[in-house]
Chain A
Amino acid sequence: MSGFSRTDRDLVYWERMTSLLAIGPDPLDLDRLVTAVGASAPAGADGAVVTFLGLVRNHNLGRIVRHLEYEAYEPLALKVFERIAGETRDRWPGVRLALHHRVGRMEIGEASVAIAAASPHRADAFAACRYAIERVKQIAPIWKREFFEGGDVWIEGATANPDDTGARSEAERVACA
């Protein structure tokens, strides 16, 4: 017998998939985020849920992409997701966020990140959803390795600094453009 019974594994899976904030290897299910974020306010109070799915694209910088592998510093990533949710609440009171990121190997067309922002009003939900993905790209400790025709490369974007107010302002500017 292994240490985990099937029931324990199912419970871990279920908790991850019904949480507002999550990171793990399971395929993403946007409906679960919409349900979770809707349940985080009194029934009937929301006027909008805006969702975003980030997909594995078959091309990048002129390369033909075969698949991607994501890795993360998961405990820190969850704290960063909490931080992003907090920043979002501060900037758009009444908005709640669900944010799931997947790790491991992903094929072309699969979703690597899913976000749902719920709000009484659509303008805030649109802005918060865009803000959240910009902040993930700036400060979440997650990396993608691109396997393309002819090789593979770690993609390196932003130096993560959660206290960089310039980056935060830029995310707000993009979100409200």
Chain B
Amino acid sequence: MRVTVRFFARLRDIAGAAELARDVAPGATIGAVWRELAGEFPELVPYERSISSAVNADYARMDDVVGDGDEIAFLPPVSGG
């Protein structure tokens, strides 16, 4: 299965890309995708407790299972307004 991962704000700076494509195992959760990326980009690790996630532009939970072709977004703490 292939998913698109989107990063915003500081997470984008850390990953060095706004968007990455990744292969994931069937049944993988958003949390599993995150842990994989945190292994690749260790500066992401401190964000584990403060990020939010979204799938296909809807807020999601880290234990939600991802599907083929999903767009997964990782969102650092927000600062709009």
Give the interface of A toward B (CB within 8 A): 54, 70-73, 75-77, 79, 101, 112-113, 133, 136-145, 154-163
Tell me if B81 counts as interface (CB < 8 A to partner A). yes
Q: Known contacts A145-B9, A156-B10, A159-B50: does B57 contact A137 (CB below 8 Å)?
A: no
Q: Roughly how many angstroms separate A54 CA and B77 CA in the complex, as a whole number?
A: 19
Cβ B80 vs Cβ A73 within 8 A: no
Collect the chain B residues with CB atoms within 8 Å of residue A76's CB: 54, 57-59, 73
The 8 A CB mask of B26-65 against A (1 = contact, 0 = none) is 0000000000000000000000001110100111000000
- Of A136, A155, A157, A160, the contact of B52 (CB 8 Å cutoff): A160
Q: Are A161 and B52 in contact (CB under 8 A)?
A: yes
Once the chains bind, are A157 and B75 in contact (CB under 8 Å)? Answer: no
- Residues of A within 8 Å of B80, CB to CB, are 70, 72, 77, 101, 112-113, 136-137, 140-144
Can you give 13 contacting A-B residue pairs, CB < 8 Å? A70-B80, A72-B80, A133-B81, A137-B81, A139-B78, A140-B78, A142-B79, A142-B81, A143-B9, A154-B13, A156-B76, A158-B78, A159-B77
Give chain B nearest CB distance to A68 CB in angstroms: 10
What's the Cα separation between A136 and B8 when bound, in Å? Answer: 17
Q: Is the CB–CB distance between B58 and A154 below 8 Å?
A: no
A162: chain B residues at CB < 8 Å are 59
Residue pairs across A and B with CB atoms within 8 Å: the count is 90
Q: How many Å lie between the Cα of A136 and that of B75 in the bound state?
A: 15
Instruction: Find the residue from B13, B78, B80 having the highest chain A CB count within 10 A.
Output: B80
- The answer to whether A143 and B57 have CB atoms under 8 Å apart is no
User: Judging by beta carbons under 8 Å apart, are A73 and B73 in contact?
Assistant: yes
Q: Are A73 and B54 in contact (CB under 8 A)?
A: yes
Answer whether A71 and B81 are a contact pair too, CB < 8 Å, given A76-B59, A159-B50: no
Interchain CA distance A34-B64 in the complex, whole Å? 40
Give chain A nearest CB distance to B51 CB in angstroms.
Answer: 7
> B79's contact among A75, A77, A79, A143, by CB below 8 Å, is which?
A143
Q: Most chain-B Cβ atoms within 10 A of its Cβ — which of A76, A133, A137, A145?
A: A76
Q: What residues of chain B lie closer than 8 Å to A101, measured between beta carbons?
A: 80
Whether B77 and A160, one on each chain, are in contact in the complex, defined by CB atoms closer than 8 angstroms, is: yes
Q: How far is the CA of A79 from the CA of B76 in the complex (A)?
A: 18
* Known A-B contacts A71-B8, A71-B9, A73-B8; A158 and B58 likewise in contact (beta carbons under 8 Å): no
